[in-house]
Amino acid sequence: MLVYAGIDEAGYGPMLGPLSVAATVFVLPEHDPAVGAPDLWQLLDSALCRSRRDSRHRIPIDDSKKLKGSKKARKFHPLHHLERGVLAFLTQLTATTPTIDTTLFEQIGADVPDAPWYGSSTSLPIGESLDELHIDTHRLQRTLDRAGIQCASIECRIVDTAALNQQVELLGKKSAVNLGVILQHIDAIWKHWEKDHPRIIVDRQGGRIHYLRELQLAFPDTHIQILAEDPERSRYRLQSGSTQCTISFHRRAESGHLPVALASMTAKYTRELFMIRLNRFFSEHLPQLQPTAGYVQDARRYLQEITPLINQLKLDRSALIRKI
């Protein structure tokens, strides 16, 4: 049996909004782990693809940056493709389609930060109808069943601005916070599938190659073997007693591993839902305010426009604005 997991984040660089780190786990009961991870796009070809344009109406699964649409696009909502993939997999996993973002957050374990700008909720789905989503889900479920593949877990951890600022001040750098959340996901996956030697693929953290020190600190009672450390991948075998876990940090992991691509989409979609809440809060007070995705250049424009409101409502700037 192969337990095949992927981890990726969204919102590492922005000035506003949370850091979102997601993990997905696929289980292939009949697959021999010794032959390596299979190409899930190929095995699930009748339901999934990579491209946003597909004549067979399959569900695109890829790096979230490739699937998020433009605001200028008229045919689809910018979140259409992200939402379609995430909700199709989540619905087949939980047997229920979330019709409000609060339910989705509960299903994937994304805690809502205690800040006034996250106090509203959003009806789902945003970019397609429930009927279309049910068709996608049924097709996906049939394809998974025929291939003997299970999507066993989709989880997302949220680090809000207040916590991120505090942890950056404590640890000295943002990358340490991001890696810390990744290690939490790894720990949870290993504990859940401790008898099954999970293989976990993580998108490489910038240009970093060496991760042994952080892994040893996170798993102090574990024997760690370096299997590879090169420009393309860094791979480690962890052993604790009779249990093992293999962790690989890959360059462009979302392009080669479907679990990482789905994690990328989940992290991005979840963050976007939080940004919808944030924009809604401020636009209710300032109707002419144009929404922001939270990235630095536009966030500065946004903050300039909302500063009088921040002062008027006595909002905590350290809980809203990251210390970049």
What does the pLDDT look like over 287-300, one tens digit per residue? 999 999 999 999 99
Question: Can you tell me whether residue 270 is helix, strand or coil?
Answer: helix
Is the pLDDT at 249 greater than 80? The verdict is yes
The sign one gets for the Cα dihedral 229, 235, 240, 242 is negative
Inter-residue contact 7 to 251 (CB < 8 Å): no
> What is the enclosing helix (H) or strand (E) of 93?
helix 80-94
Report the percentage of the chain scoring pLDDT > 90: 86
pLDDT for the residue numbered 35: 84
Buried/exposed code over 191-215 (b: 16+ C-beta within 10 A; e: otherwise): eebeebbbbbbbbbbeeebebeebb
Confidence of residue 323 (pLDDT cuts 50, 70, 90): confident
The overall average pLDDT reported for the chain is 94
Q: Give pairs for 304-311: CB < 8 Å, separation 24+.
A: 306/282, 309/282, 309/285
Inter-residue contact 173 to 38 (CB < 8 Å): no
**pLDDT tens-digit readout, 112-155:** 999 999 999 999 999 888 999 999 999 999 999 999 999 999 99
Beta-carbon contacts of residue 63 (< 8 Å; ≥ 6 apart): 254, 255, 261, 264
Is the pLDDT at 97 greater than 70? The verdict is yes
pLDDT for the residue numbered 209: 93
Q: Is the peptide bond before 125 cis (omega within 30 degrees of 0)?
A: yes
Per DSSP, the residues of 139-203 read HHHHHHHHHT-EEEEEEEEEE-HHHHHHHHHHHSSHHHHHHHHHHHHHHHHHHHTTTS--EEEEE
> What is the enclosing helix (H) or strand (E) of 101?
helix 101-108
| Residues 219/261/255/19 CA torsion (nearest 10 deg) | -60
| Residues 46/52/53/54 CA torsion (nearest 10 deg) | 0
- Let me know how long the chain is: 324
pLDDT for the residue numbered 218: 96
Confidence of residue 73 (pLDDT cuts 50, 70, 90): low
Tokens of 34: 């010794």
Average pLDDT over residues 42-48: 96
Domains of the chain: 2-276 (3.30.420.10)
pLDDT for the residue numbered 276: 98
Average pLDDT over residues 33-53: 91
Confidence of residue 52 (pLDDT cuts 50, 70, 90): confident
Task: Identify which of 112, 115, 126 has the alpha carbon closest to the alpha carbon of residue 78.
Answer: 126
Number of CB atoms found within 10 A of residue 72's CB: 6
- Cα radius of gyration (the chain): 20
Inter-residue contact 19 to 12 (CB < 8 Å): yes
Average pLDDT over residues 40-49: 96
Q: Report the predicted TM-score, pTM, of the whole model to 2 decimal places.
A: 0.96
* Residue whose token pair is 């996608």: 136
